[in-house]
Amino acid sequence: MNRDLSDLPGAGDQRDPVDEFFAAERADVRDLAPAPDRWEGIVTEARRPVRRRWLPYAGAAAAAVVVGAVAWGGLVDRQGGDADRDPAVASSSRQTRASVTSAGPRPTTTQSAPTAPVSSPPPTGATTSAPSTHKGPLPAPATFGLVSLTTGADGKLRALGSANCQPGDQPCVSVVGSEDNGATWTARATLKGNAQGMPRKVATAPEQFAGLRFATADIGYAYGGTTMRTTDGGRSFTPFDVGGGIVLSLEAGGGKVWLVTAQECKVDTDPAQRGCTGLEVWSAGTSATRATKVATLPTPGPVETAWLSMDGADAYVSTNPADGRAASAARRVSGTATQLPRPAGCAPTGGVWVWATANTPGGLVAVCRADGQADAAYALATSTDHGATWTTATPEPDLGTPTAGGMWVTAPDLKHLVAVTGALPSTDSGSDPATQLRSSTDGGRTWTQPKGTGDSGDWTWAGAGGGRLVYAVQAEAGHYVVSNDSGTSFRSVAFRQ
| Amino acid letter, 61 | A
Q: How confident is the model at residue 27 (pLDDT cuts 50, 70, 90)?
A: low
| pLDDT of the residue at 320 | 92
Q: Is 43 helix (H, G, I), strand (E, B) or coil?
A: helix
Q: How confident is the model at residue 135 (pLDDT cuts 50, 70, 90)?
A: low
In this predicted structure, the answer to whether residue 387 has a pLDDT above a threshold of 80 is yes
Q: Which candidate, 120, 109, 112, places its Cα nearest to that of 95?
A: 112
Please, where are the H alpha helices in 80-202? 87-103
Helix (H) or strand (E) holding 216: none
| Amino acid letter, 347 | A
- Mean pLDDT for all residues in the chain: 77
In this predicted structure, the answer to whether residue 279 has a pLDDT above a threshold of 70 is yes
In this predicted structure, the answer to whether residue 126 has a pLDDT above a threshold of 90 is no
In this predicted structure, the answer to whether residue 39 has a pLDDT above a threshold of 80 is no
Beta pairing partners, 217: none
Q: Is 106 part of a structural domain of the chain? A: no
Q: Which candidate, 222, 275, 268, 215, places its Cα nearest to that of 247?
A: 222
pLDDT digits (tens, 9 = 90+) for 403-438: 888 889 999 999 999 999 888 888 887 766 667 899
The pLDDT of 467-486, averaged and rounded, is 92
Query: Using an 8 Å Cβ cutoff, are 193 and 211 in contact?
Result: no
Q: Is 66 part of a structural domain of the chain? A: no
DSSP letter assigned to residue 199: G
pLDDT digits (tens, 9 = 90+) for 443-475: 999 999 999 987 667 888 999 988 999 999 988
CATH number of the domain to which 203 belongs? 2.130.10.10
| pLDDT of the residue at 123 | 46
Q: Is 2 part of a structural domain of the chain? A: no
Q: Is 111 part of a structural domain of the chain? A: no
Q: Is 331 part of a structural domain of the chain? A: yes
Q: Is 184 helix (H, G, I), strand (E, B) or coil?
A: coil
| pLDDT of the residue at 172 | 86
Q: Is 166 part of a structural domain of the chain? A: yes
Phi-psi region of 239 (alpha: psi -120 to 50; beta: other; left: phi over 0): beta
In this predicted structure, the answer to whether residue 368 has a pLDDT above a threshold of 90 is yes
Beta pairing partners, 176: 159, 187
pLDDT digits (tens, 9 = 90+) for 288-304: 999 999 999 999 999 99
Q: What's the structural domain count of the chain?
A: 1
Q: How confident is the model at residue 246 (pLDDT cuts 50, 70, 90)?
A: very high
Using CB atoms within 10 Å of the CB of residue 384, give its burial: 0 to 12 exposed, 13 to 18 middle, 19+ buried.
middle
Give the domain extent around 190. Answer: 145-494
pLDDT digits (tens, 9 = 90+) for 51-105: 333 323 333 333 333 333 333 333 233 333 333 333 333 333 333 333 332 333 3
Q: Is 91 part of a structural domain of the chain? A: no
Q: Is 291 part of a structural domain of the chain? A: yes
The pLDDT of 38-63, averaged and rounded, is 37
In this predicted structure, the answer to whether residue 21 has a pLDDT above a threshold of 70 is no
Query: Using an 8 Å Cβ cutoff, are 382 and 325 in contact?
Result: no
